[in-house]
Homo-oligomer: A and B are copies of this chain.
Amino acid sequence: MTAPAPHFTRLTVIGLGLLGGSVGLAARARGVASRVVGCGRSRESLAAALRRGAVDEIRAGVDAVREAEFVVLATPVSAMPGALGAVAAGFQPGALVTDVGSVKSPLADLLPGLLPPAVRFVGAHPMAGSHQRGIEHARADLFEGAVCIVTPSHDTDPQAVERVASFWHALGARVVLRTPAQHDAEVAWTSHLPHALAFAFARALEEAPSGACEVSGPGFRDFTRIARSDAELWSEILAANRKAIAGPLQETAQRLAELARMLDANDVESLERFLGIARETLTRIAPEGLRSRPSGGENPEIAAAKSAASEGERKITHD
A residues touching B (Cβ–Cβ < 8 Å)? Answer: 127-130, 146-147, 149, 176, 178, 182-183, 185-187, 189-191, 193-229, 231-232, 234-236, 238-239, 242, 245-260, 263-264, 266, 268, 271-272, 274-279, 281-283, 285-286, 288, 290-291, 317-319
The answer for the CA separation of A172 and B218 in the assembled complex, in Å, is 16
The answer, among B178, B227, B264, B272, for a CB contact under 8 Å with A246, is B264
Contact B127 A215 (CB under 8 A): yes
Q: Which residue of B lies closest to A213 (CB)?
A: B285
Contact B194 A223 (CB under 8 A): yes
Residue of A248, A253, A285, A288 ringed by the most chain B CB atoms within 10 A: A285
Q: Which residue of B lies closest to A195 (CB)?
A: B219
Known: A190-B212, A203-B274, A249-B259. 15 other contacts (CB 8 A): A186-B209, A186-B211, A187-B215, A190-B208, A191-B219, A194-B223, A202-B281, A207-B251, A208-B248, A208-B285, A221-B291, A224-B286, A227-B279, A235-B272, A250-B260
Residues of B within 8 A of A226 (CB): 219, 222-223
Contact A200 B236 (CB under 8 A): no
Residues of B within 8 A of A253 (CB): 253, 256-257, 260
Residues of B within 8 A of A254 (CB): 204
Contact B199 A275 (CB under 8 A): yes
Contact B212 A239 (CB under 8 A): no
Residues of B within 8 A of A279 (CB): 199, 202, 227-229, 231
The answer, among B191, B220, B231, for a CB contact under 8 Å with A275, is B231
Contact B276 A231 (CB under 8 A): yes
Contact A225 B219 (CB under 8 A): yes
Contact B282 A202 (CB under 8 A): yes
The answer, among B176, B193, B209, B216, for a CB contact under 8 Å with A215, is B176
The answer for the CA separation of A194 and B221 in the assembled complex, in Å, is 10
Contact B235 A215 (CB under 8 A): no
Contact A211 B242 (CB under 8 A): no
Residues A249 and B256 in contact in the complex (CB < 8 Å), given A186-B208, A215-B183, A281-B202? yes
Residue of A183, A216, A288 ringed by the most chain B CB atoms within 10 A: A216
